[in-house]
Structure 1
Amino acid sequence: MASTMKFMCLVGLVVLVSILGLQNVDAAGECGKSSPDNEAMKMIPCAEAAQDENAPVSAACCTQVRQIGHNPSCLCAVMLSNTAKSSGIKPEIAITIPKRCNIANRPIGYKCGAYTLP
């Protein structure tokens, strides 16, 4: 009887986790179905340039910024994400990367938390 009860609790827990997981997958946030933390992983080529305003911005970084930058709210969420913060990214420097990449159609003046895209 006790093993049956444990099994039922385990099945209930698996069902609950599955339902919550499916709701999370279907939800569309700033970056669509991907989380800002997942998108931040694509920004690895920008790590040095996002920590030092005098560091050169690589072509690989600019490519990623162009792709994510099509959605300014996603780019902002990525720059302010937990992944970016834990990687030592400085938002006040990261926010300058679209300009440093000479992206002509960047959202100049877009507010990103306490920062504004130049």
Structure 2
Amino acid sequence: MDKLFCIMLFMIIGIAGVYSAGECPKSTPDMEAMKLLPCASAAQDSNAAVSKGCCTQVKKLGQNPKCLCAVMLSKTAKSSGVKADIAMTIPKRCNLADRPIGYKCGAYILP
């Protein structure tokens, strides 16, 4: 029984380590991308209005530019039809004063 407990404990620590070692603490970019569902239309069309819910989520993620970048370039975002060049403009379109201006995100730079 003690061996089983130790194995389970190491597995839990290993899984937690994977999440905390990435760009997004305690999560993965794909999991965080799900929180940006209110941004779907704004991330596909630069003329679409950006909702308050979208701006709220982007503001939270923008506190960690590495995570925000990873989310916008994630597999989940790409498979949802997000256009990275348009998604990168959302923080500016939300008028976030503390956005990570000039942060290089892959081939893109946050304006």
Whether these two folds match at TM > 0.5 is yes
| Identity across the alignment (%) | 65
Q: What is the TM-score when the length of structure 2 is the normalising length?
A: 0.86
Q: Using the TM superposition, give the Cα deviation of residue 25 of structure 1 relative to its aligned residue in structure 2, in angstroms.
A: 2.1
Determine the structure 2 residue equivalent to 1:79.
Answer: 72
- Alignment map for 1:58-97 (pairs within 5 Å): 58-97=51-90
Q: Using the TM superposition, give the Cα deviation of residue 26 of structure 1 relative to its aligned residue in structure 2, in angstroms.
A: 2.3
RMSD, aligned α-carbons: 1.7
Determine the structure 1 residue equivalent to 2:15.
Answer: 24
- For structure 2, which runs of at least 5 residues remain unmatched after alignment? 1-6
One-letter identity of the residue aligned with 2:105: C
Determine the structure 2 residue equivalent to 1:12.
Answer: none
Give the count of matched residue pairs. Answer: 104
**CA radius of gyration, larger in:** 1
- Partners of 1:111 and 1:21 in 2: CA distance: 33
1:107 aligns with 2:100: yes
- Partners of 2:58 and 2:39 in 1: CA distance: 9
